[in-house]
Amino acid sequence: MAGSDRATAASGIDVGDARQRNVAAVQQQPTIVEKTEVDDKKKAAKKGPSVLDVLDQWEWIYAPLIFTALAFFTRFYKIGISNIVTWDEAHFGKFGSHYLQREFYFDVHPPAGKLLVGLSGWLAGYNGTFEFKSGEKYPEELNYTFMRQFNAFWGAACVPLAYWTAKALNLKRPAVWLVTLMVLCENSYTTISRFILLDSMLLFGTVLTTLCWAKFHAQRTRAFEPEWFLWLFMTGLSIGFVTSIKLVGLFVTALVGLYTIEDLWAKFGNTKMPAVELAAHFTARVVGLIVLPFLVYLLSFAIHFAVLTNSGPGDAQMSSLFQANLRGTEVGRDSPLEVAFGSRVTIKNMGYGGGLLHSHVQTYPEGSGQQQVTCYHHKDANNDWFFYPNRREEDYNPEADPRFIADGQTIRLIHAQTGRNLHSHEISAPITKVDKEVSCYGNLTIGDEKDHWKVEVISDAASRDRSKIRTLTTAFRLKHETLGCYLRAGNVNLPQWGFKQIEVTCTKQNKPRDTYTHWNIEAHTNEKLPPGDPGSYKSPFFKDFIHLNVAMMTSNNALVPDPDKQDDLASQWWQWPILHVGLRMCSWDDSIVKYFLLGNPLVYWGTTAGLGVFALLVVWYTLRWQRGYKELSQWDVDQIHYAGFYPVIGWFLHYLPFVVMARVTYVHHYYPALYFAILTFGFLVDWFLRNQKKAIQYIIYGILDTTVIGLYIYFIPICWGMTGPNKQYSYMKWFDTWRMSDA
Amino acid sequence: MAASTPQGTLRQRNVGASSKKNKDAASSDTELDKLIKSTGVKPPAAGSETEYKIVFVFITAMAFLTRFWGISHPNEVVFDEVHFGKFASYYLQKTYFFDVHPPFGKLLFAFMGWLVGYDGHFHFDNIGDSYIANKVPYVAFRSLPAILGALTVSVVYMIMWESGYSLPACIVAAGLVLLDNAHIGQTRLILLDATLVFAMACSLLFYIKFYKLRHEPFSRKWWKWLILTGFALSCDISTKYVGLFAFITIGSAVVIDLWDLLDIKRPGGALSLPEFSKHFAARAFGLIILPFIFYLFWFQVHFSILTRSGPGDDFMTPEFQETLSDNIMLANSITIDYYDTITLKHKETKTYLHSHPDKYPLRYDDGRVSSQGQQVTGYPFNDTNNYWQILPVVDDQKLGVHVKNHDLVRLRHLVTDTILLSHDVASPYYPTNQEFTTVSIADAFGDRAADTLFEVRIENGKANQEFKTISSHFKFIHNPSKVAMWTHTTPLPEWGHKQQEINGNKAIAPSSNVWLVEDIPSLPADHKRREKEEKKVKTLPFLQKWFELQRSMFWHNNQLTSSHPYASLPFQWPFLLRGVSFWTQNDTRQQIYFLGNPIGWWIASSVLAIYAGIILADQFSLRRGIDALDHRSRSRLYNSTGFFFLAWATHYFPFFVMGRQLFLHHYLPSHLASTLVTGALVEFIFTGDSSEQEVAHHGAKSGKKAAVAKRHMTARDRFAGQSMLGSWIAAIVILTLAFAGWYFFLPLTYGYPGLSVDQVLRRKWLGYDLHFAK
């Protein structure tokens, strides 16, 4: 072994360029494995038959079992004592109800997590009729305890996964236990797992992905063997699972992605590897880590669409055709087929995530100061417009026979609620400055040529006849007659003065394929015309899928902090790693059970300090290396690289986005990042202690373990629920910002 | 276990995979630093570089010509000359002002004004104001940036020359800056960017000079260039804070250099740690401490020039303001006692709190009703109806008691003998805001007593602070309802004599609620309370003043988020998608539209992409064990050209995360760096032997190693015997194209001649929003 090392060394000394170095790297991989194997054997050989040794031998079975049992105990104990809807249960419980009622709803998160909530409700025999109003008492027939237990299951399952992950990262047993304990005895993890929320599943997905990645990494020398494939596909499935719960899952995906890129780059440099094998490596990863997760993600949406077949509160987010296929919808039901002057309609933008053309009495604070025109995703009377003839033609006469609207005809649109005309002029739009502002102006008599819009039909799914505009099926553009620009809603959110609705502009660019300039008639009423059934066309799954995803992104972007709204639950990124604040999950009345979202101080402060120590460690070894110290073996470097560096990268990936992100953030956004900080901490303790004397190890691990457990128990009331007056919990209030007590 | 024994771990660093990762990470960087290594140790080839010198003189002359041509046109204030001209005037008048940029660039302009004996009487209020009519020596002002702008071209040339590039490469780089409309446009006007870009270019040049002396560390010359680099960097950051990017550029190169010095196996022999520390300390001193001291020095100059109170006072704390002379605050501030008669002035709209016997009408136009109480309004002129007597809560008639912060008071309107009151009745214009009115004394101390109480809340005040005229800025909070007395500029209708509405604002925080007491009319002019012993101007420690100003500057810099019609986004710059309209004149159809030379910019930007492509292709082929470049070409490509590329990247990408409004001129330093890359790549692609060309074009097919030539030499030596024809042709083609683009857009850069509609339309490439297109 040493000989071969030296041989490669000798061959590399004089050349030392990139190519040779890689060859050496590849040659060394088998030797590492050998070493570790030898290590294990030696360990095994030393074993005697004493009780301690038996314990030692069976640790891999009973340790995870004990930890799991403890996890289930801490997560399940007294889980039902608060019988009110707590914190975001109001959201996720409600979404679960929608699945049970099969009503189409809209939310910024992908569906998998909420589908599981729905599943738990179904298992609990819940019928979906409860509204999950925040702070309200659960009705008798709703077995909320079961639903919470279902969620707590995911949280508890993180503990054994953490155990196996630490093991797969080659930590020694006491360090493995420490990591597991830190996950087990983490108050914030405990608390967040005990309610009907998505966070326990998200955490589970993150932890599982990390485990699969570590396992896959451990298989790297046995490429293309069944176990290798198993963990590759498990990683893929896990990525698919976690991203289908919340898009935060993309961060752990990025971690695996970085690893894969590095891995492939190393293989790419191995000139001895046949091209076919290289291609096989590449393909396997594309399939396992991109195609497979994407399929899982698609599947979650397919189930989502398959379950939600009834019309519900989220209809307006989707295309008109999709809505027409929901049961119980108004869209397309009994609407007249063809649009005539005097028709009362709602007009839907056909771009992905497009809303309904909307106006309200509020005016633009800048520009013309006239009435705002926006796109809006909720159905209300302000979305209704009347088709009117232009001012040059004879006026609309309710008594006369209906006059249909043809391609190329110039019309006016009158807002039903305010009676004003859709209008545009030579004033820059409020956000998209290159476009023109669109407003509502005048009334039936007051107005000018700038109220005139020309209908240009793009396509019609139902007919080739362009002499009429049809409900749902005709896609048309509206061209402003005097300015020559097109009405467009490009998914740009207005500021608070526009209620974060979508900006509507008039664009000079004539791009017939820009779907954000395409509109169709959605609801249509006209007493003069016979009812028809225009909604008999299906909208394809992929179109719905993309549409919904774009809508999710756009409304996620709208979640920016609002200076006009005070939110004392929100916190900022810098507060999390130092455990500066907690979060009150419910009202602080003496009569209700109170939960406070706060972490275990040692876990938070220790792991944050650990990140700094890790940076120093890396700097230390790099400088020493440059000075010619050869103190690290290949195994050591790999250990720092995979068990230390990758968790740190994971931490950055899960933390930095929240630093730069301009949206409202809460303490629980830090929880996935915290897991990686815990792994780093475990690595560091292991690194510094693994070669120390047993006695020192016992003392330090003993202190760390007892402190973690002690603090956990000390703070356990905030997780299990604080009953009675909050004053009696003031002993935990170490700082004024930890508001678990008003005292 | 073998792995843990020493000999198991003892591996040759450059071989084992243990070192592989680090080495990999480092290698691309290390090479970068070797930067000018290949050019290093250049024998002072006397006389051999005559042609370089001739071209240098020619290019410098051309640079002065292009920058100074027609510099007196337009004789009006153009774009941001509004700001920087004004600041120069303030310096010359020694009045304190506030700006988000550090003082160095502005001090230079002031110095220029002082040289020509200008007194700073003109305040550059509006774009288009005439310089002639106002007798401003604007040509002198403008010649400063023009000189710096012209010298920038020379510095670019010298950077290439010093880095050992061939003559065509030098000419291309310098020519692209010389013939660039953006550089010309920005450096002919009273703007800071000429100073900024010049300092940035100098810092690159000086650092290269310094680096070339690395074989004689701590020599006199070595120190000279180190300190000059630090000085250039300091001038850069003391002009605008984007100068920080140059620190990142140079800093990265220094870190890589230090990393190599630390190397135990470095070619020149290992350095001992004390030696290394000396290197480290010298650089830290020369490139961090010294620049910081220079930076502070400019602030010291700033403070010592600006000794008079001026428009910048309001940005500073009262303590700071007391260090300025002629300060009204210092002169006229009087402590207010109860039973004094005072006049209250709204800080933002400069109107006085006023009342008169007229009542609010019962019904407003929109149908809402009022209390029909006596009107309380804002009135901008002196009037006895602005007099209010300040009364304590308990009407004890005790004189000589000072009013303090957070005291509850009543205000008695002297002329009508009524007491100020606010109540839950909507104000004339704002249904959400409370009406202000007055009630009789009897009511005020009777059943309306609570509603007549107001709290004096001094801005940033401490408990028990005395309430003073002029200097105490305060909010007047109605005690029971906690609304703040507020006014705005929309005048009341006829019934209110078009005076301003006063109402109670529920939002207390906004600064528009701030009032101040202007005077105490009840005190005769010679009253002893008005007498002030001649107070000396106070002083504050420099660092305290600097720190306060610094904080204020950063804070306001972050507030610059409002949108500007000509603001642009970073991704638009390399493609030159949009310019900025600087100035227009309708009669002559002349306009200045700030825009680069599109052809030059597109060439430079595409070369950046080519460079990235070459590096990527090289990395990939190296990875597959194919070595297509000879040692020398690669070293030059990674180190020298890589340094330029790094300069471009560090001056460009940070803008993507900046929240403030951005303009095209923020790209100028980056553009300069991109021309350096262009020059270098022209040489790389169009000269050299066939194998090099193949690499450039086919991305590494040939495995043939190029000729081994390890000597360090000048460009002339390097290309001895090789045909330079390719580079010359490329240089001529590029410069001809650039010249054409430059010439075509000249009317927009120099502001004359005026263009016809057709001519304007022809220049609307990419839809540039030019004026006079109709």
The string of pLDDT tens digits covering residues B129-171 is 889 888 899 999 999 999 999 999 999 999 999 999 999 999 9
The last residue of one of the domains, among B503, B525, B547, is B525
Q: Does B714 map to a domain?
A: no
Q: What's the average model confidence in pLDDT over A51-69?
A: 90
Substitution target in B4, B11, B23 with the highest count of A β-carbons within 10 Å is: B11
Query: What residues make up the domain containing B69?
Result: 44-298+573-687+724-762
Please check whether residues A43 and A75 belong to one and the same domain. Answer: no
Q: Does A740 map to a domain?
A: no
The total of other beta-carbon atoms located within 10 Å of residue A52's CB is: 9
Q: Please, are residues B253 and B643 in contact by the beta-carbon 8 Å criterion?
A: yes
Q: What's the average model confidence in pLDDT over A586-591?
A: 85
CB contact residues (below 8 A), chain A span 425-444, against chain B: 428, 433
Q: For residue B298, what pLDDT is reported?
A: 94
Q: Do A628 and B264 touch (CB under 8 A)?
A: yes
Q: Do A625 and B19 touch (CB under 8 A)?
A: yes
Q: Does B460 map to a domain?
A: yes
- Band of the pLDDT at A118, cuts 50, 70, 90? very high
pLDDT tens digits, residue range A202-225? 999 999 999 999 999 999 999 899
pLDDT tens digits, residue range A434-479? 788 999 988 877 888 888 999 999 888 777 788 888 888 888 999 9
Please check whether residues A635 and A723 belong to one and the same domain. Answer: yes
Q: Is the pLDDT of residue B560 over 80?
A: no
Q: Please, are residues B675 and B152 in contact by the beta-carbon 8 Å criterion?
A: no
Q: Is the pLDDT of residue B458 over 60?
A: yes
Q: For residue A634, what pLDDT is reported?
A: 92
Please check whether residues A43 and A81 belong to one and the same domain. Answer: no
Higher pLDDT, B526 or B258: B258
Q: What is the DSSP letter of A643?
A: I
Q: Do A10 and B16 touch (CB under 8 A)?
A: no
- Distance (Å, rounded) from C-alpha A232 to C-alpha A212? 8
Lowest mean pLDDT among A32-36, A482-486, A582-586, B733-737: A32-36
Q: What's the average model confidence in pLDDT over A220-241?
A: 94
pLDDT tens digits, residue range A314-324? 887 888 888 88
- Two tokens at A302? 């397919």
Q: Bridge-partner residues for A486, per DSSP? A: A479, A507
Please check whether residues A268 and A402 belong to one and the same domain. Answer: no
Q: Does A722 map to a domain?
A: yes
Q: Do A633 and B4 touch (CB under 8 A)?
A: yes
Lowest mean pLDDT among A341-345, B187-191, B515-519, B700-704: B700-704
Q: For residue A659, what pLDDT is reported?
A: 86
Q: Do B17 and A637 touch (CB under 8 A)?
A: yes
Q: Does A421 map to a domain?
A: yes
| Half-sphere exposure of residue A69: CA atoms within 13 angstroms, side-chain side | 5
Q: Is B19's Cβ below 8 Å from some Cβ in A?
A: yes
- Band of the pLDDT at B9, cuts 50, 70, 90? very low
Q: How many helices (H) and strands (E) does chain B have?
A: 26, 14
pLDDT tens digits, residue range B155-212? 999 999 999 999 999 999 999 999 999 999 999 999 999 999 999 999 999 999 999 9
- Band of the pLDDT at B715, cuts 50, 70, 90? low
Q: Is the predicted ipTM greater than 0.85, yes or no?
A: no
Please check whether residues B514 and B599 belong to one and the same domain. Answer: no
- Band of the pLDDT at B626, cuts 50, 70, 90? confident
Residue B12: which of A12, A22, A660 has the nearest Cβ? A12
Q: Is B14's Cβ below 8 Å from some Cβ in A?
A: yes
Q: Do B16 and A634 touch (CB under 8 A)?
A: yes
Q: Does A68 map to a domain?
A: yes
- Rounded to the nearest 5°, which phi and psi values hold at B355? -150, 155
User: Vertex A164, ends A654 and B2: CA angle to 5°?
Assistant: 105
Which of A90-94, A702-706, B387-391, B447-451 has the highest average model confidence (pLDDT)? A702-706
Please check whether residues B109 and B242 belong to one and the same domain. Answer: yes
Higher pLDDT, A295 or B623: A295
Higher pLDDT, B664 or B31: B664
Query: What residues make up the domain containing A176?
Result: 59-302+573-732
Residue B10: which of A8, A271, A630 has the nearest Cβ? A630
DSSP string for A547-595: HHHHHHHHHHHT----TTS--TT---GGGTTTT---EE-S---TTS-B-
Please check whether residues B608 and B469 belong to one and the same domain. Answer: no
Please check whether residues A111 and A197 belong to one and the same domain. Answer: yes
Q: Is the pLDDT of residue B28 over 90?
A: no
Substitution target in A261, A434, A625 with the highest count of B β-carbons within 10 Å is: A625
Q: For residue B534, what pLDDT is reported?
A: 58
Please check whether residues A640 and A501 belong to one and the same domain. Answer: no
Q: Please, are residues B580 and B664 in contact by the beta-carbon 8 Å criterion?
A: yes
Mean of all residue pLDDT scores within chain B: 84
Q: For residue B623, what pLDDT is reported?
A: 87
Which residues, 6+ apart, have CB-to-CB distance to B589 below 8 Å? B754, B755, B756, B772
Q: For residue A259, what pLDDT is reported?
A: 96
- Two tokens at B522? 């009840």
Please check whether residues A585 and A627 belong to one and the same domain. Answer: yes
Please report, for residues A17, B634, B700, the alpha-carbon distance to residue B706 in angstroms, rounded to integers and kept in the order given. 16, 11, 12
pLDDT tens digits, residue range A173-203? 999 999 999 999 999 999 999 999 999 999 9
Q: Is the pLDDT of residue B631 over 70?
A: yes
Q: For residue A598, what pLDDT is reported?
A: 93
Lowest mean pLDDT among A86-100, B111-125, B360-374: B360-374
Q: What's the average model confidence in pLDDT over B347-372?
A: 85
Closest CA to A458 of A342, A350, A585, A573: A350
Q: What is the DSSP letter of B512?
A: G
Residues of A in contact with B21 (CB under 8 A): 637, 641
Q: Is the pLDDT of residue A522 over 90?
A: no
Please check whether residues A624 and A669 belong to one and the same domain. Answer: yes
Q: Does A584 map to a domain?
A: yes
Which residues, 6+ apart, have CB-to-CB distance to B272 below 8 Å? none
Residues of B in contact with A21 (CB under 8 A): 14-15, 17, 19-20, 23-24
Residues of B in contact with A622 (CB under 8 A): 22
Please check whether residues B518 and B599 belong to one and the same domain. Answer: no
Q: Does B623 map to a domain?
A: yes
Q: Which helix (H) or strand (E) holds B342?
A: strand B341-346
Residue B20: which of A21, A622, A691 has the nearest Cβ? A21
Q: What's the average model confidence in pLDDT over B464-471?
A: 81
Q: For residue A337, what pLDDT is reported?
A: 84
Q: Does A498 map to a domain?
A: yes
Lowest mean pLDDT among A155-169, A445-459, A608-622: A445-459
Q: For residue B720, what pLDDT is reported?
A: 61
Q: Does B698 map to a domain?
A: no
Q: What percent of chain A has pLDDT over 90?
A: 49
Q: Is the pLDDT of residue B463 over 90?
A: no
Q: Is A12's Cβ below 8 Å from some Cβ in B?
A: yes
- Distance (Å, rounded) from C-alpha B178 to C-alpha B190? 19
Q: Does A487 map to a domain?
A: yes
Higher pLDDT, B712 or B644: B644
Q: For residue B716, what pLDDT is reported?
A: 61
Q: If 0-12 CB within 10 Å is exposed, 13-18 middle and 19+ buried, where does residue B659 land?
A: exposed
Q: For residue B701, what pLDDT is reported?
A: 38
Q: For residue B91, what pLDDT is reported?
A: 92
Q: Please, are residues B509 and B488 in contact by the beta-carbon 8 Å criterion?
A: no
Mean of all residue pLDDT scores within chain A: 86
Q: Do A19 and B22 touch (CB under 8 A)?
A: no
Residue A268: which of B12, B264, B623 has the nearest Cβ? B623
Question: Looking at CA atoms only, how far is residue A27 from chain B in angstroms?
Answer: 9
CATH number at residue B407: 2.80.10.50
Q: Does B589 map to a domain?
A: yes
Please check whether residues B379 and B494 belong to one and the same domain. Answer: yes
Please check whether residues B347 and B259 belong to one and the same domain. Answer: no
Q: What's the average model confidence in pLDDT over B326-337?
A: 71
pLDDT tens digits, residue range B399-410? 888 898 888 999
Q: Is the pLDDT of residue B37 over 60?
A: no
Please check whether residues A346 and A264 belong to one and the same domain. Answer: no
Q: What chain B residue is nearest to A4 in terms of C-alpha separation?
A: B8
The last residue of one of the domains, among B464, B497, B525, is B525
Please check whether residues A110 and A171 belong to one and the same domain. Answer: yes
Higher pLDDT, B428 or A743: B428
Q: What amino acid is encoded at B621 in this protein?
A: S
- Band of the pLDDT at B328, cuts 50, 70, 90? low
CB contact residues (below 8 A), chain B span 235-274, against chain A: 259, 262-265, 270
Q: What amino acid is encoded at B220 in this protein?
A: R
Q: What's the average model confidence in pLDDT over B713-724?
A: 64
Please check whether residues A44 and A65 belong to one and the same domain. Answer: no
The sign of the CA dihedral A302, A304, A307, A310 is negative
Please check whether residues B474 and B351 belong to one and the same domain. Answer: yes
| Half-sphere exposure of residue B287: CA atoms within 13 angstroms, side-chain side | 25
Substitution target in B19, B255, B768 with the highest count of A β-carbons within 10 Å is: B19
Instruction: State the count of interchain CB pairs (< 8 A) between A and B.
Output: 112
Q: For residue A31, what pLDDT is reported?
A: 43
Q: If 0-12 CB within 10 Å is exposed, 13-18 middle and 19+ buried, where does residue A550 land?
A: middle
- Band of the pLDDT at B505, cuts 50, 70, 90? confident
- Distance (Å, rounded) from C-alpha B274 to C-alpha B267? 18
- Band of the pLDDT at B64, cuts 50, 70, 90? very high
**Does residue A281 sit in helix, strand or coil?**
helix
Please check whether residues B333 and B433 belong to one and the same domain. Answer: yes
Q: Is the pLDDT of residue B681 over 70?
A: yes
- Band of the pLDDT at B563, cuts 50, 70, 90? low
Q: Does B107 map to a domain?
A: yes
Q: Please, are residues A71 and A135 in contact by the beta-carbon 8 Å criterion?
A: no
- Distance (Å, rounded) from C-alpha B329 to C-alpha B306? 17
Please check whether residues B262 and B390 belong to one and the same domain. Answer: no
pLDDT tens digits, residue range B651-675? 999 998 877 788 999 999 999 999 9
Counting the structural domains of chain B, the total is: 2
Q: Please, are residues B545 and B323 in contact by the beta-carbon 8 Å criterion?
A: yes
Q: Do B17 and A24 touch (CB under 8 A)?
A: yes
Higher pLDDT, B44 or A518: A518
Q: Is A41's Cβ below 8 Å from some Cβ in B?
A: no
Closest CA to B619 of A599, A63, A18, A301: A18
Q: What's the average model confidence in pLDDT over B70-95?
A: 89
Q: Please, are residues B168 and B730 in contact by the beta-carbon 8 Å criterion?
A: yes
- Band of the pLDDT at B319, cuts 50, 70, 90? confident
The distance from CA A15 to its chain's CA centroid, rounded to whole angstroms, is: 49
Residues of A in contact with B17 (CB under 8 A): 21, 24-25, 28-29, 634, 637
Q: Please, are residues A647 and A133 in contact by the beta-carbon 8 Å criterion?
A: no
CB contact residues (below 8 A), chain B span 548-587, against chain A: 563, 565
Q: What's the average model confidence in pLDDT over B63-87?
A: 90
Q: Is the pLDDT of residue B635 over 50?
A: yes
Q: For residue A448, what pLDDT is reported?
A: 83
- Band of the pLDDT at A17, cuts 50, 70, 90? very low
- Band of the pLDDT at A628, cuts 50, 70, 90? confident
Per the listing, tokens 């190599």 go with B260
Q: What's the average model confidence in pLDDT over A698-718?
A: 95
Counting the structural domains of chain A, the total is: 3
Q: What percent of chain B has pLDDT over 70?
A: 87
Q: For residue A490, what pLDDT is reported?
A: 83
Closest CA to B696 of B633, B625, B644: B633
Q: Is A626's Cβ below 8 Å from some Cβ in B?
A: yes
Model's pTM, two decimal places? 0.74
- Distance (Å, rounded) from C-alpha A595 to C-alpha A52? 41
